[in-house]
Amino acid sequence: MRALLVVNPMATTTTERGRDVLVRALRSAVEVEVAYTRRRGHAASLARQAAESGVDFVVTLGGDGTVNEAVNGIMGASSGERPALAVVPGGSTNVFARALGLPKDWAEATGVILEALREGRSRLIGLGLADDRYFTFCAGLGLDAAVIRRVEQARLRGRVSTPALYLRSTARQYLRDWAAGRVPANQPAITLERPAEPPEEKLATVIVQNTSPWTYLGNRAINPNPEASFDLGLDVMALRGLNVPSTTRTVTQLLSRRDPHGKHVLRLHDVTEFTLHAGRAQPFQLDGDYLGEREKVRFTAVAEALRVIC
């Protein structure tokens, strides 16, 4: 079997020595070519070229952003059979790998992948599609994407990605927007439209999940839609406003591992297709990567789209 190992050299939880150990371990089982990413979007190009050259699977060593790019490269290949994907967690959170049931530690996860290769073990999972880009576990339009933008800016200034950084960024983003009058409770900006269903209007922020959980704070899973699954359509949680009492109640429910509920909460389960329309451009994220601002995004669930080794 032939494989491409796509390595993000900036991965936060591995070292050069650790990467060498990983390469030797993989080469004990398969023929491996190693490629290092050099810029944003490079992993997608590498994975697409590998898929078109006929490799059997692509392995990523990096965080969720590297995984997302590799998935889009595999899915965007213009010829050949799509290779399977194996994920070695090397980022700070690694939601996708953990949602697959892989250990958080990269060395232990490598052991699980090698065992799966020996046993021929894999599974087909569904993906989400936002316009023309695939995502593996989550998307967001509104507040959560604005928080991710703030975290990415902090990391560019040398800050380390930690649960405390995300919590501080969430509080500061919320208070900044509230003080600036951008998210008052009586002026929500987003409408959700589904085929043959009445529109859901006056939404302030929207979270989309392709699996559960949505994210982690350290070892604590944060789960707005706990029934979300790789084997089903997409799940949605939206807030009908961001006033202080209702938003505080929802955050408390999430942190205490209770399902979010209340008149201000919209939740949809196993949805195949929907479109979000924003009255003004909103921050947008996929799989924890900030992708700018959008006024409209069409979401589609793509069943049994990708084979993964886990």
Q: Residue 186: is its pLDDT beyond 50?
A: no
Question: In this predicted structure, which of 107-116, 170-179, 236-245 has the lowest mean pLDDT?
Answer: 170-179
- How many domains in the chain? 2
Short-list 115, 119, 97, 117, CA closest to 106: 97
Phi, psi angles (nearest 5°) of residue 200: -100, 110
In a domain, 142, yes or no: yes
N- to C-terminal Cα separation, the chain:
17
Q: Residue 273: is its pLDDT beyond 60?
A: yes
In a domain, 131, yes or no: no
d(CA 96, CA 65): 10
Q: Residue 211: is its pLDDT beyond 70?
A: yes
Residues 75 and 155 in one domain: no
Residues 28 and 90 in one domain: yes
Question: In this predicted structure, which of 144-153, 154-163, 173-182, 247-256 has the lowest mean pLDDT?
Answer: 173-182
In a domain, 98, yes or no: yes
Cα 173 from chain centroid (whole Å): 20
Q: What range defines the domain where residue 45 resides? A: 2-121
Domain C-terminal end among 95, 121, 147 = 121
Residues 142 and 116 in one domain: no
Domain C-terminal end among 71, 96, 121 = 121
In a domain, 128, yes or no: no
Contacts of 184 (CB under 8 A, 6+ apart): 178, 242, 243
Residues 78 and 161 in one domain: no
Residues 298 and 152 in one domain: yes
When pLDDT is cut at 50, 70 and 90, the band that residue 17 belongs to is confident
Question: With 0-12 CB in 10 A as exposed, 13-18 as middle and 19+ as buried, what is 202?
Answer: middle
Strands in the chain per DSSP E: 2-7, 31-36, 57-62, 84-89, 123-130, 133-135, 138-141, 190-193, 200-203, 205-209, 215-217, 220-222, 234-239, 265-271, 273-286, 289-308
Q: What is the mean pLDDT of residues 83-95?
A: 93
Q: Residue 251: is its pLDDT beyond 80?
A: no
Q: What is the mean pLDDT of residues 37-53?
A: 96
- pLDDT at position 185: 47
- pLDDT at position 178: 56
Q: Residue 171: is its pLDDT beyond 90?
A: no
- pLDDT at position 269: 98
At 94, which CATH number? 3.40.50.10330
Q: What is the mean pLDDT of residues 257-275?
A: 90
Cα 262 from chain centroid (whole Å): 26
Which one-letter DSSP state was computed for residue 73?
H
In a domain, 72, yes or no: yes
At which residue do the structure tokens 């892989």 appear? 102
d(CA 204, CA 96): 26
Residues 166 and 195 in one domain: yes
- 301 or 18, which is more confident? 301
